[in-house]
């Protein structure tokens, strides 16, 4: 009798261990599915007052990443900034966004530099007269443009904070009235109808973090108390701005358990964030 009981316990234990290993392999995907399903079927976008009016006039969009940060999460939960991963994700992110813009029948304009570069416009012109004077007017204009770019990006961050605060965290009104002012022209450049400001912050796990997630899932399966340790996460926000007036026309953010270092994860995140971008709104609501 005792021997039979031991055998039964052994069989049950073996089955539980197999279930724990299966849950360990599936836990990250299940977490991603749960978080993603919560966002399907609902629109989180917010719109400027003049969005539908100005939408037909948008023929091209300049992509401008304000921030692309990627971190590694270690076994203990510590985050380490990974500029190498961010540098690899950035061009792929712009490519995915460019594909969406073109699918919506708009042209994309190359990324515009927003960082200070050595100013060479005031150097002596050796191709003409030997003592040609420095081009001080061009140098001063370049400095003004760079200052305007910095101010516009700072203002964009302030406006985004206001949108998140008043239209997501402490309210859900779908329409707003914000502007970055005509300083946006320094960011947009000539003949640019709209600028898409992009922000992405993501985290990916180290091998140690993956091990912790598997062990926690197995322990939760054995104890009957589910334990999910986060491994991947991503949050992206998009702000569409009129290239002339600086009016904010559209804003959206998306977040979830997406691995942005994989093509599939990044593509799904972009698809979620751009679901309503450059599409009529009032006529559909």
Pair of tokens at residue 218: 């197995």
Q: Residues 215-248: pLDDT tens digits?
A: 555 555 556 666 554 557 899 999 999 999 999 9
How many other C-beta atoms are found inside a 10 Å radius of the C-beta of residue 232? Answer: 23
Span 258-265, average pLDDT: 93
Q: Among 40-54, 60-74, 191-205, which is the least confidently predicted range?
A: 40-54
Q: Residues 118-146: pLDDT tens digits?
A: 333 333 444 444 444 545 566 665 666 67
pLDDT averaged over the chain?
77
pLDDT the model gives residue 182 = 87
Contact yes or no for 66/238 (Cβ under 8 A): no
Q: Report d(CA 98, CA 261) in Å as an integer.
A: 18
The structure's pTM equals 0.71
Helix H or strand E segment including 195? strand 194-205
Residue 208's Cβ-side half-sphere holds a number of Cα atoms within 13 Å equal to 8
């Amino acid at each position: 009798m005792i021997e039979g009981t031991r055998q039964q316990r052994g069989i049950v234990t073996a089955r539980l261990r197999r279930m724990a290993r299966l849950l360990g392999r599936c836990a990250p995907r299940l977490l991603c599915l749960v978080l993603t399903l919560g966002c399907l079927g609902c629109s989180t976008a917010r719109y400027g007052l003049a969005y539908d009016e100005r939408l037909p006039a948008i023929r091209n969009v300049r992509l401008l990443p304000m921030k692309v940060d990627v971190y590694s999460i270690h076994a203990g939960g510590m985050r380490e900034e990974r500029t190498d991963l961010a540098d690899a994700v950035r061009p792929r992110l712009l490519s995915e966004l460019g594909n969406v813009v073109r699918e919506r029948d708009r042209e994309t304009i190359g990324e515009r530099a927003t960082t200070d570069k050595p100013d060479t416009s005031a150097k002596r012109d050796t191709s003409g007269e030997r003592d040609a004077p420095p081009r001080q007017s061009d140098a001063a204009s370049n400095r003004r443009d760079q200052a305007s770019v910095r101010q516009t990006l700072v203002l964009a961050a302030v406006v985004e904070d206001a949108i998140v605060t008043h239209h997501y965290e402490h309210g859900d009104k779908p329409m707003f009235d914000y502007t970055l002012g005509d300083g946006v022209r320094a960011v947009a450049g000539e003949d640019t109808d709209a600028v898409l400001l992009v922000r992405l912050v993501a985290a990916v796990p180290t091998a140690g973090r993956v091990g912790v997630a598997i062990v926690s899932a197995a322990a939760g399966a054995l104890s009957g108390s589910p334990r999910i340790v986060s491994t991947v996460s991503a949050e992206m926000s998009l702000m569409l701005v009129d290239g002339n007036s600086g009016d904010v026309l559209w804003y959206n953010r998306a977040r979830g358990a997406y691995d942005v270092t994989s093509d599939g994860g990044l593509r799904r995140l972009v698809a979620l964030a751009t679901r309503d971008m450059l599409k009529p709104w009032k006529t559909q609501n």
